[in-house]
Structure 1
Amino acid sequence: MGGADMSGAGMDNGADGSGAADAAGTDPAYGGSVNGGSVNVMSAEGDSVDATSTDDGSVDGLGTWRTWTRATVPADRAAAEAGVRAAYRAAGLPEPERIVWAGSPRAAVSLIRELPDRGACVRDAIRDAPWAAERARLHAELGAGGWSEHWAATGGRLWESTQALVDRIRTGVLEELAGGTTGEEATGVRLLLLEAVLGQHDAPWLAAFAPAGGPFEALTEVCRSAGWWWPYARVAVVSERPVALHQDEAGRLDNGEGPALAYPDGFALHAWRGMPVPADFLTELATLTPVRIHKEENAELRRVMLEYYGYDRYLKDSDAKPLHRDETGTLWRIDLVGDEPLVMVEVLNSTPEPDGTHRTYWLRVPPRTRTAKEGVAWTFGVEAEVYAPSQQT
């Protein structure tokens, strides 16, 4: 097996096959693992996050908003209800006759379907109209370029991961209440979901606007205090926040040991590195074997199994044969039913660790790769013909 200095650009090409590759905008399908074990930097960000804290020690000044978005402590119901009533008043509307709480967005939608006397949805007056007016004001004040810079420095930093979470919650509610995402019943559920004000998940755009006073102060109070809420002429329905939230460093739902997102009433979403998985699927992960992985017919679930088990470990335990060896390393390949082949280069890092040992890297490379040198060169973004060891540093 050949040696290479893997401390340079090659390892920036999604070396861990997880969040770092995604965050950099590279292709997360290829990556590597170290010393026979998958590199997986995980966090359970949001577990018991205290949403009442206003101490923002973050580098970008968005720590408070980020905390509210990921909060998993019970809602501050008194503060949330005060914010809801203030939001109605700021929109020039009478306060709702009553405020009803639900254990999750799923429970809230179910409840709303049983409230024919709730009156018309007033989301536009409470949330959409103030948002549009403030965005127009900032756009006129800052200009197109200034607005883009402002958004990138504020709400844009929170938007992608928060919106992905919102989309997953909506899909989960659709699947549980309508049995899928198509059909007449699904359309009805989808419309109710679109009537929601997103509470804690409205943090990205509130971070970009949120001037003191007026409707934004009220909306910010609900953002700080509760989950999604639905404003109607006579009734407001407010959802509790989650009790658990597990995300990887790219902000994707991720938990191999239970729900990645869970609400107090039992509504939960399961995922592995952003990939939705059935709840019972996770119980299999601890006892995976190459045979079980090979028999999995669903290509997406098989990829989850491979990531959990470790691509390099799967190659070893499946008795894969080396396809090619040269001075840069060893190229391995194994075919997968209904999916592209698994092709990896095994490389011994020529730069020693502090203890004098040399680490082994497994780099996933495109299926078209035919030589180890071609695979290593690909991780550095160059062709094999121009690749040379001096480029590794």
Structure 2
Amino acid sequence: MSTEPADRSLTEEAIASIYARHRRPRPEFRWVASPYAALPHLAGFPTHQTLRSWVDTRRPPGRPPIASDIAAGLSRLRSDLSEGFVEPAPDRPLMKRPQGKPWPSLPPLEALDAGLPFQELLRQGVREALFRSLAAGIYLPIRAALTAAALPVGWYGHQDAAWIGHLDALRRLGLVSGGQSAAFEPWVTLARAGGWWWPGERVCVLVDRPAVLRVEPVPGAWAGEIRLRRVPGTSAVEYRDGWTI
């Protein structure tokens, strides 16, 4: 939720290391003050439809775009880190998962009493709670305000903290293996230091963090979820170039 300016040097080094992991040279970094200001710089960048074409049986000729490689590598990283999870020895009776149904979504203390496994407690209380706040609460409304038909594939920096925070919690508790630490650290850095970014083959477009975020608690939420505060006559988000929603 920081509205301090992005740490540009840390952000650039983290992204350069991600490029290097996918055998790409360091890109030119092009900073802009808002997502709206980024739009003129994104012409020709791949969309989600472009990336889907690379998993079809009839793939386009040539090399996949860097965004495709980053997305695939990130999927492998998250799977590798999650698959190493070791459930701690229970100190309470554990609930059996209802056959063919998801785990019940419960407030933390009720979830403990009901016997949800620790892995599910962390998934609901960290990843899902942060995702509701940062995705539904913040970056999806900002994306909608751009009114672009199809934004290129990009990432959200500090607003990607849901999956990063969840895996970091598992790692700090010693419940996942540390074999992928080198690949994970750049994403942790981006969550702490950066804003939105779009990777291109030679140019990476980056957005500074907003100057103002006005938020409020989500009514009835039990894990501290927030959303943008919508007050008539007041901007919910303000960027440093004056663009607001």
Range into which the TM-score falls when normalised by the shorter chain: 0.5 to 0.7
Q: Does 1:264 align with 2:222?
A: no
Query: 1:252 is matched with which residue?
Result: 227
Q: Does 1:167 align with 2:159?
A: no
Instruction: List aligned pairs for 1:25-40, cutoff 5 A.
Output: none
Q: What is the distance in 2 between the residues matched to 1:171 and 1:235?
A: 24
Judge conservation of contact 1:246–1:253 (CA < 8 Å) in 2.
yes
Judge conservation of contact 1:127–1:197 (CA < 8 Å) in 2.
no
TM-score, normalised with respect to structure 2: 0.65
Q: Percent identity?
A: 26
Larger displacement relative to structure 2 (215-224 or 196-205): 215-224
Larger displacement relative to structure 2 (221-230 or 122-131): 122-131
Give 1 or 2: higher strand fraction. Answer: 1
Q: Does 1:241 align with 2:209?
A: yes
For 2:29, give the aligned amino acid. I
Three-state SS of the structure 2 residue aligned to 1:204 is helix
Q: Does 1:205 align with 2:177?
A: no
Judge conservation of contact 1:103–1:264 (CA < 8 Å) in 2.
yes
Tell me: CA distance 1:234–1:86, structure 2 relative to 1, closer, same or farther (3 Å).
Answer: same
Judge conservation of contact 2:81–2:167 (CA < 8 Å) in 1.
no
CA shift at 1:215, angstroms? 2.4
CA shift at 1:268, angstroms? 1.0
For 1:170, give the aligned amino acid. R
Q: Deviation digits for residues 239-283 of structure 1, max 9, x if unmatched?
A: 0100000111221211535211111122211xxxxxxxxxxxxxx
Judge conservation of contact 2:45–2:200 (CA < 8 Å) in 1.
no
Query: 2:70 is matched with which residue?
Result: 126
CA shift at 1:231, angstroms? 1.1
CA shift at 1:217, angstroms? 0.8
Gapped regions of structure 1 (runs ≥ 5)? 1-69, 179-185, 270-393
Instruction: List aligned pairs for 1:173-184, cutoff 5 A.
Output: 173-174=146-147, 178=148
Over the aligned positions, Cα root-mean-square deviation in angstroms equals 2.7
Judge conservation of contact 1:101–1:237 (CA < 8 Å) in 2.
yes
Query: 1:220 is matched with which residue?
Result: 188
Q: What is the distance in 2 between the residues matched to 1:237 and 1:229?
A: 6
Tell me: CA distance 1:168–1:121, structure 2 relative to 1, closer, same or farther (3 Å).
Answer: farther
For 2:40, give the aligned amino acid. S
For 2:39, give the aligned amino acid. V
CA shift at 1:128, angstroms? 4.5
Judge conservation of contact 1:123–1:197 (CA < 8 Å) in 2.
no
Q: What is the distance in 2 between the residues matched to 1:166 and 1:207?
A: 17
TM-score, normalised with respect to structure 1: 0.42
Query: 1:83 is matched with which residue?
Result: 14
Q: What is the distance in 2 between the residues matched to 1:263 and 1:71?
A: 13
